[in-house]
Copies of this chain bind each other. A is one copy, B any other.
Amino acid sequence: MEFHLALEPYLETYRYKQTALYAAFRDAIQGGRFPYGTQLPSSRELGRRYGLSRGVVYQVYERLMAEGFLEAVLGSGTYVRYRQSLEPGNRLHTADLPLSDWGRRLEALASERELRPRATPNSRRFADVHPSGPVPEPSGVGVQSNGTPLPERQLVNTQATSAASARLSPTRLPAVDQPSAEREIRFDFGHAAAQPFPAPEWRRLLYAEVRANTEAPAAAAPAQGYRPLREAIARHLRRARGLDVTADTVVVVSGSMQALALLAQLLLNAGDKAVLENPGYTGIRSAVFAAGGVPVPGRVDGQGLVVEPWDARLVFVTPSRQFPTGAVMSLPRRQALLQWAAENGAVVIEDDFDSEFRHRGRPIEPLKGLDRDGRVVFVGTFTRTMQAQLRIGYAVLPERLVEPFVRALQLYEPSPAAALEQRALAQFMAGGGYERHMRRMGRLYSRRFDRFGRLFERVLGRLFEIVPSDAGLHIFARWRSDEAGYLRFRAHCAGAGVVWVDAQENYIGVAEPAACFFFAHLNEAELEEGVERMERVASALGFGGLQAPEE
């Protein structure tokens, strides 16, 4: 079979062979070099020719099939199934549309993660920050029901997930699994909308804004954000978090990812180093990588980020509640971090994602509260506390950075897209509705936290080590045994209709088997049902309540 794939240039562009191979095939097919019907070599043959492992080739073929470029005909071979004539006006010479380094980084980032082998349907990945594509129905094998928008902290790419779960075929699961007809229990914050939400009040406020705005269009909110909202946020931070903040240094954004990405762009040149918690939030990794920054993994222990004499310009940290471990950064550590920042002229970006939910103990001041010389940026979001699709977050910036940050925002959006919601939220906060809502939600979540924590500890404590935490919306648990056991357990639980967020993707380099159980959106019955199913799977696999056999 005459067959040649121009792989070389792609190997130079992409960091991963899989990514390169995928891109080379996609471009060759879209570019018409492999027309409809072309037969491709077997994964073994291709692997041999190009010096790639068969697994790598298989993964790439699999993705191209999932995307409809290829079809595998049983007993015959793999064929191109892409017709250019089906793409009106798009006979592409893709080689002629080279992306900038920035664009290629985004591409590499996404492809690489989509191609990464995944034992489980919905771990947290860069691609997870992208709800996209048609929404499949929930199924027993862990396809993400993307029926509701997902907050930054755990967002799932339905397509990728479907592909992943397809790999996790139910036929490979033994009889212990529940019939997938049974309602799925999702410890993944995917149903954030289930959280108690003051719908009538919120609706009234939005109605009022819609009415006012259609009767006499409101003034454009400045890119920095609707001032009354900035004032309300400043008031809230002063009262609830003890932060000495004025509206002038508050900038409203469309969710915290926008703030993190713009800050990385604004403060990092290609090659500049940025310290990231390890494990940490993958979205921050993406922001740094896209900006061309070089991630410096920062060790995390029970007191949060371990401060070291890094050579870096920027550090991203979650001091009030480390993501995902939940550790609270100790005061000495905080002081050491600020000391380091001052000595190195570095900026500290504090990502405060869910520490407002305290279940016990005294509230924890943000690191920003200790910031005396204006090097800490405090980033918060309403996605967690309000509706998930309310794309409103904020950054509290050192005065020096306010103007540059607003300018960065303005380059893309002269005035905010969520104008109505900004005004409604300002009203909601000014009227005290937001604080009432937070208190109500807090009480409910604390009950669920206690119930689930105790139950999980008692029933699954032999399999998982729960990392103690007094706050937040998820419980972080380390698998006590080896990864193989964890992956088996997770796969079979998914088969039994129990899914959770795999924490392995949050690690740079070697990842320990660990899980995030988001509990806040589930009621007590669901929490119990979930734990029971896990218990059944555990015993069916021979782990049951006892030490995992691998130990």
Residues 402-424 of A, flagged 1 when their CB comes within 8 A of B and 0 if not, give: 01101110111111111111000
Q: Chain B interface: which of A168-176, A256-264, A499-507, A542-550?
A: A256-264
Quick check: is A266 within 8 A (CB to CB) of the other chain?
yes
Q: Are A217 and B410 in contact (CB under 8 A)?
A: no
Nearest first, the 6 closest Cβ-Cβ pairs linking A and B are A149-B220, A96-B345, A132-B222, A417-B417, A193-B217, A391-B417
Closest to A424 in B: B210
Are B244 and A215 in contact (CB-based, < 8 A)? Answer: no
Interchain residue pairs with CB less than 8 A apart (27): A30-B400, A90-B374, A92-B374, A92-B400, A96-B373, A100-B269, A129-B410, A130-B223, A130-B407, A130-B410, A132-B406, A147-B219, A148-B220, A193-B216, A193-B217, A199-B215, A203-B214, A206-B420, A207-B207, A213-B389, A217-B387, A217-B389, A254-B413, A258-B412, A261-B412, A286-B411, A412-B412
Copies of this chain, whole number: 2
Which of A93, A100, A216, A290 has the most chain B CB atoms closer than 10 A to its own CB?
A100
Given A90-B398, A420-B420, A391:B404 Cβ within 8 A: no
Asked whether any CB of chain B lies closer than 8 Å to the CB of A388, the reply is yes
A9 at the interface (CB under 8 A from B): no
Across-interface contacts of A467 in B (CB, < 8 A): none
Interface pair A110/B148, CB less than 8 Å apart: no
Q: How far is the CA of A88 from the CA of B373 in the complex (A)?
A: 10
A131 contacts the other chain (Cβ, under 8 Å)? yes
Contact A375:B410 (CB < 8 A) given known A217-B388, A220-B146 = no
Q: Are A210 and B219 in contact (CB under 8 A)?
A: no
Q: Which residues of B contact A150 (CB under 8 A)?
A: 220, 414
A98 touches B404 (CB 8 A): no
Using known A-B contacts A291-B100, A398-B97, determine if residue A88 contacts B246 with beta carbons closer than 8 Å: yes
Contact with B along A243-254 (1 / 0, CB 8 A): 011100100001
Cα A388 to Cα B218 in complex, Å, equals 10
Which residues, 208 to 239 on A, are CB-close (under 8 Å) to B?
210-211, 213-224, 227
Q: Mark A356-373, 1 if CB is under 8 A from B, else 0.
A: 000000000000000111
Question: Measured between alpha carbons, how far is A389 from B226 in the docked complex, in Å?
Answer: 13
Contacts of A254 in B (CB 8 A): 412-413, 417
Task: Give the interface of A toward B (CB within 8 A).
Answer: 27, 30, 87-103, 106-107, 110, 129-135, 146-150, 152, 155, 193, 197, 199-200, 202-203, 206-207, 210-211, 213-224, 227, 244-246, 249, 254-255, 257-258, 261-262, 265-269, 272, 286-287, 290-291, 313, 342, 345, 347, 371-375, 387-389, 391-392, 398-401, 403-404, 406-408, 410-421
Closest partner residue, chain B, to A347 (CB atom): B97
Cα–Cα distance between A191 and B337 once the two chains are bound (Å): 50
Q: Bound state CA distance, A103 and B401, in angstroms?
A: 10
Return A393 CB to nearest CB of chain B, in Å: 10
Q: Determine if A413 and B97 form an interchain contact, defined as CB atoms under 8 angstroms apart.
A: no
Residue from the set A88, A132, A207 with the largest chain B CB neighbour count within 10 Å:
A132
Beta-carbon contact of A400 and B97 below 8 Å: yes
List the B residue with the shortest CB-CB distance to A368: B89
The distance in angstroms between the C-alpha atoms of A224 and B131, with both chains bound, is 10
Least CB distance, A109 to chain B, in whole angstroms = 8
Flag if B398 contacts A100 (CB, 8 Å).
no
In the bound complex, how far is the Cα of B261 from the Cα of A547, in angstroms?
56
Tell me which of A102, A200, A268 has the highest count of chain B C-beta atoms within 10 A of its own C-beta: A102
Is B218 a contact partner of A131 (Cβ separation < 8 A)? no
Contacts of A244 in B (CB 8 A): 88-89
Residue numbers in B under 8 Å from A211 (CB-CB): 203
Q: Chain B nearest CB: distance from A66 CB in Å? A: 14
By the criterion CB–CB under 8 Å, are A224 and B132 in contact? yes
Asked whether A267 lies within 8 Å of B99 as measured between CB atoms, the reply is yes
A131 touches B220 (CB 8 A): yes
Given A92-B399, A206-B214, A417-B418, 5 further pairs, Cβ under 8 A: A129-B414, A131-B415, A254-B412, A258-B413, A391-B413
Q: Would A130 and B374 be within 8 Å (CB), given that A202-B214, A401-B97 are in contact?
A: no
A196 to B415, CA, bound (A): 22
Closest chain B CB from A516 CB (angstroms): 18
The docked-state distance in angstroms from the alpha carbon of A207 to that of B419 is 15
CB neighbours (8 Å) of A149 from chain B are: 217-221, 415, 419
Residue of A150, A193, A202, A398 with highest tally of chain B CB at under 10 A: A398
Contact of A374 among B91, B219, B245, B257 (CB under 8 A): B91
Q: Inside 8 A of A216's CB, which chain B residues have their CB?
A: 193
Find chain B residues with CB under 8 A from A206 CB. 210, 214, 420
Q: A92-B374, A206-B210, A416-B391 are in contact. Are A411 and B261 (CB under 8 A)?
A: yes
Partner of A345 from the list B98, B412, B415 (CB cut-off 8 Å) is B98
A456 to B132, CA, bound (A): 51
Given contacts A96-B345, A214-B199, contact A407 B107 (CB under 8 A): yes
Cα–Cα, bound, A497→B20 (Å): 62
Question: Which listed residue (B89, B269, B387, B391) contacts A372, Cβ 8 A?
Answer: B89
